[in-house]
Structure 1
Amino acid sequence: MTEKFRAFWLEESEGKVTGSIKEIGTEDLPQGEVLIRVRYSDVNYKDGLASIKEGRVVREYPFVPGIDLAGEVIASEDSRFAAGDQVLCTGYGLGVSHFGGYSEQARVPADWLIKLPQGLSAREAMILGTAGFTAGMSVEAILRAGITPDSGPVLVTGASGGVGSVAVAILAKLGFEVTASSGKEQEWELLKKLGAARTVSREEAQAPSKGPLGKGTWAAIVDPVGGAGTGERLKTIAYRGVLALSGLTGGGDFGTSVHPFILRGVTLAGIDSVQCPVPLRLDVWKKLAGEWKPDAVFEQAVHELTLEQLPDALSRILKGQAVGRQLVKVSEA
């Protein structure tokens, strides 16, 4: 008899998507070389979009969402992985076109997996998840451009969210003077505990400049928000500074001019965590487990959930009410 396990199951009826806990079996899982017992997942903005029809993330239902997972291998048809290996998966089609991490078991292509780096537990890996990995890639882009703590202060927008909170902690750990921008003033104290030297309002961080350039204040900006504010923030980057752009919670469009690029040599670095090349993916995760490990995030900004609590968590993140990282405990060890 096939073993049954729990999954958060999305179904569509009359144009509306609803989610519930359902018992399924391995025969219900999509194809893939590696079967995993999922221990932890998390909640990202894309997971919220996957839970609603108008989010346009998932095309076919029924579906199991969850763009991240960590756990151990049950069985593998690929020689790179063996039963008992601790693994994690973020990006690719997981939780978008392929059943994701909100299931006690998952079957995924071997090419999507990496072994859990030494120094990081499955729980810690999913406290970070795609949001933490995106923050790590943003920091990598800033460092690759030659920005150092001596270059000047760094701004992090959407700092109380998943990407922002991890970015604040990593940059502070590396010695940067971090200004954290958030529309949630009640979370400013938390941001200081994560390492922010200063906190500012969302409005202050994207205040319009009178001309094509504003005061060159920031050596770099981590921007997981996007939208109209991105264009204004570009005007405030210092000479040869970097804006690492990874999100669109503030909208998908922004306006700007060529002036920040041709007069100050500013770089707009696009951060894509989904199709990130494997060598860079391994390098960033290794650093997140080592010298960049944001211990302050693990101590200050984690909210642990069960599968049953997912509907409320997904709703919160879509409404912009989520703070820090929402960790999902999928199954017991």
Structure 2
Amino acid sequence: MTFKALLASKPGDAIATHLVDFQDEDLMPGDVTVVIEYSTVNYKDALALSGRSPVIRQFPLIPGIDFAGIVETSSHPGFAAGDRVLVNGWGLSQTHHGGFAQKARVSGDWLVKVPEAFSTQQAMAIGTAGYTAMLSVLALEHGGLSPERGDILVTGASGGAGSVAIALLSGLGYRVIASTGRQEETDYLHELGAAQVIDRRTLSEAGAPIGKERWAGVIDSVGSHTLVNALAQTQYRGVVAAFGLAQGADLPGSVLPFILRNVTLAGIDSVNAPQSARVQAWSRLARDLDVDKLARTTQVVGLAEVPAIAGRVLEGKVRGRTVVDVNA
């Protein structure tokens, strides 16, 4: 029996992708084989397919850092045939075949059971972007923030992680300020729960090392000057959760927010997060995420459409989350 997969190769300097027929014996080692139902296109997937960042470390490889589906066979004690499972990160799309295929074989230690509140499609509408957003909310709470402390800024607001972050925060009672370069998405951001939408250009240029206190916390997917300016305007004992580099990986700022205002900068890693953190994040997503708002963020495409969507993600032209129906 064969199954479809999107295979990335690098015949020269550029990465090429092709839909191919794979067989079970082509899969990599693992103790759980999963029939994939859905994957998703994250910013990291777009970086991988474009070659702009060396995400894929060996070729040929099936990209896709996420998938959700049904266990076909398992020798792992935690999973049995028929279980609904998902995976985010680990080695997928780096050194291990990922989710842009109809089947995968992985370590059961990477898997999380899909919460009962979600279908496998909804789990991938969340994906790594939404799971990272939840890890960021948990970091804000760990730093002592609550809705009474003040506003929360979300940068890259119309992207996948930003969209889910707004839906989560507004549902928890926070007043959310959404920063975006796409003012045409203002109505969409208000529908997700943003109380105010600001132009990203107010944060994206070099600014003062410390500024007027504006927000109690920040969820940042942008990095560079945007993150520095967000830090400079964070209130005393505020918390900033950072996980992205859409503007850049540099941090051209000052220590003043840290030593004058006791601001906490919390780094968020979703790829190698311990299983306990993953289970906590998915449990909270099941409790706190409004699935109606999630549906507003989501479009569904087929495997063949993934390379084109990835290009549009890098151009900042994709709103919210893109689910991949691997059987479409």
Give the TM-score normalised by structure 1. Answer: 0.96
Tell me what 2:211 maps to: 214
Tell me what 2:131 maps to: 133
Mapping 1:25-64, distance limit 5 Å: 25-64=23-62
CA RMSD of aligned residues (A): 1.3
Q: Residue 315 of structure 1 aligns to which amino acid in structure 2?
A: G
> Unpaired runs of 5+ in structure 2?
none
SS across alignment from 2:77: coil
**Pick aligned residue for 1:167 from 141, 165, 168:** 165
Q: Quick check: 1:229–1:254 contact (8 Å CA) kept in 2?
A: no
Mapping 1:214-233, distance limit 5 Å: 214-233=211-230
Tell me what 1:327 maps to: 323
Residues in 2 aligned to 1:207 and 1:199: alpha-carbon distance in whole angstroms? 18
Tell me what 2:76 maps to: 78
Tell me what 2:231 maps to: 234
Q: Quick check: 1:39–1:70 contact (8 Å CA) kept in 2?
A: yes
Q: Residue 60 of structure 1 aligns to which amino acid in structure 2?
A: Q
Tell me what 1:154 maps to: 152
Tell me what 1:316 maps to: 312
**Pick aligned residue for 1:279 from 276, 279, 293:** 276
Tell me what 2:15 maps to: 17
Identical pairs, percent: 42
Residues in 1 aligned to 2:195 and 2:227: alpha-carbon distance in whole angstroms? 22
> Unpaired runs of 5+ in structure 1?
none
Residues in 1 aligned to 2:146 and 2:51: alpha-carbon distance in whole angstroms? 43
Residues in 2 aligned to 1:293 and 1:9: alpha-carbon distance in whole angstroms? 33
Q: Residue 242 of structure 1 aligns to which amino acid in structure 2?
A: V
Please report how far the alpha carbon of residue 209 of structure 1 lies from its aligned counterpart in structure 2 after TM superposition. 4.4
The farther-off stretch of 313-322 and 70-79 is: 313-322
Please report how far the alpha carbon of residue 296 of structure 1 lies from its aligned counterpart in structure 2 after TM superposition. 4.2
Matched, 1:301 2:297: yes
SS across alignment from 2:116: coil
Please report how far the alpha carbon of residue 207 of structure 1 lies from its aligned counterpart in structure 2 after TM superposition. 6.0
Structure 1 residues 52-93: Cα deviation after superposition (integer angstroms, max 9, x where no partner):
334211122111000000000000111211110000000110
Give the TM-score normalised by structure 2. Answer: 0.97
Q: Quick check: 2:58–2:94 contact (8 Å CA) kept in 1?
A: no
